[in-house]
Amino acid sequence: MKKNLINSKFFAAVFILSVFGLVSCGGGGAGTGKGDSAATASAGGDNNTLIGAGSSFDNPLFSKMFSEYNKSTGLKVNYQSVGSGAGISQLTSKTVDFGASDAPMNSKQDSAVSAPVLHIPVTAGAVALSYNLPEVKDTLKLSPAVLADIFLGKITKWNDPKIQELNKGVKLPATNIVVAHRSDGSGTTNIFTTYLSKVSEEWNKKVGKGSSVNWPVGLGGKGTEGVAGMVKQTPGAIGYIELAYAIQNNMAYAKIQNKAGNFVLPTIASVTAAANINIPPDSKISLTNTDAADGYPISGFSWVLIYKDQKYGDRSPERAAKLVNLISWMVHDGQQYSGPLTYAPLSPAAVAVADTILKSATYDGKPILQ
């Protein structure tokens, strides 16, 4: 009897607790639901908040730019750093005012979107090849062919004659090469594999380019910090990471031979130089393997993506104008914040192209910027 009583009391207590739990969960859920609806409402209603989503690479720069822009104009920008691919799909479903991506939209993404989208270059970044060779004090030099062979798994030792030939006078150890790459899909991978596909026919055929590829060799690390951690920890490792991260963490990175034959260290200046070339009118160009003689070959633009005609859904002309003005500011005045955050400012050629593209943005067929 007594035991039964205790049991029933126990079950009652559990039941009451779980009901409370459910109620509070429900409350929480309702709360987030409200938050969501507020966000969508502001996309259509509150004209003083713009919403963007996309590239996580751009996020530190964008945070700085948007907070400065807010100080001078009072316009708020809510930027969600969800990754380039997710940014494009949010723009496709029209839940954001602008997307941001480290790669131009591909043909599949283009066919999914209902109206033409403009690509406006806003900054440029580079991918550095970081390595862990404590014995080597000089900066390592790598040629495109050697780099491709390392990532294809054809060169497996650091003292391989092909690497030694490029680094005369450097005593290279007989350590095995451990290749580190990103395990998550990323714009950085896209830039790097695009470069390898351009410089190596074999890479292009066997692996190809994309945000995630089927790596022939190596270990995957999650995120830039995952790859960087692997390179730092594993003797003989080589991995590709964003330049900004490599600089901020004092990691060793290699000079890469560019198309003109020069060995170039990735720096803000050499990345900006890489973008100082003939840029097509739609700006959808990969800066990898640049023609510029002093340009670093593994770099790329990051774009802001908006619909060419801004009249869709219940958007007001004011909202459209605010968006275009913001992007115009980012291309011009906003560039001063790039350097301190180790992003490469846009080259004059890129700014000119960005201006032309922005002027082609319309609202109901009429140009927004005069």
Partner 1 sequence: MSETFKKDAITLNEESLGVIDSKKTAESLSARALKRSGGQIRMEGFFKKMLILMGLIMVILVFGILITLIVESMPSIKVLGMRYLWGRTWDPVQDIYGAFPFLLGTLLTSFLALIISIPFSISVAIFLGEYFPKGWFSSFLKNTVELIAAVPSVIYGFWGLAVLVPIVRTFQSKIGVPPLGVGIFTASLILAVMIIPYAASLGRSVIQMVPSSLKEGAYALGATRWEVIRSVIIPYTKSGLFAGILLSLGRALGETMAVTMVIGNTSHLPTSIFSPGNTMASVIANEFTEADNPIYLSALIELGLVLFLVTTVVNMIGKKVIGRFTNE
Can you give the binding site for partner 1, defined by CB under 8 A?
1, 15, 18-19, 22, 82-86, 88, 106, 108-109, 176, 178, 183-186, 207-215, 218-222, 226, 229-230, 233-234
Q: How far is the CB of 47 from partner 1 (least distance, A)?
A: 30
| Residue with smaller CB distance to partner 1, 117 or 323 | 117
CB-nearer residue toward partner 1: 84 or 290: 84
**Cβ at position 188, least distance to partner 1 in Å:** 11
CB 288, CB 271: distance < 8 Å:
no
- Closest approach, Cβ 182 to partner 1, in A, equals 9
Cα 353–Cα 122–Cα 88 angle in degrees, nearest 5: 105
Q: Rank residues 192 and 296 by Cβ distance to partner 1 and give the closer one.
A: 192
Exposed, middle or buried, 251 (CB in 10 Å: 0-12/13-18/19+)? middle
* CB of 82 vs partner 1, minimal distance in Å: 7
> Closer CB to partner 1, residue 228 or residue 264?
228
Instruction: Tell me whether residue 9 or residue 332 sits nearer to partner 1 (CB atom).
Output: 9
Which residue, among 141, 149, 122, has the nearest Cα to 265 in the 3D structure?
A: 141
| Torsion from C-alpha of 318, 323, 329, 335, nearest 10 degrees | 170
Nearer to partner 1, 84 or 299 (CB): 84
Closest approach, Cβ 106 to partner 1, in A, equals: 7
Q: How far is CA 274 from CA 120, 195, 210, 281, 303, in A?
A: 17, 13, 21, 17, 16
First-to-final CA distance of the chain: 87
| Min separation Cβ 10 and partner 1, Å | 14
Query: Could you give the angle at the alpha carbon of 128 between the alpha carbons of 149 and 89, nearest 5°?
Result: 95
Output b/e per residue, 87-109; b: 16+ Cβ within 10 A: bbbbbbeeebbbbbbbbbbeeeb
Q: Residue 75 in contact with residue 86, Cβ under 8 Å?
A: no
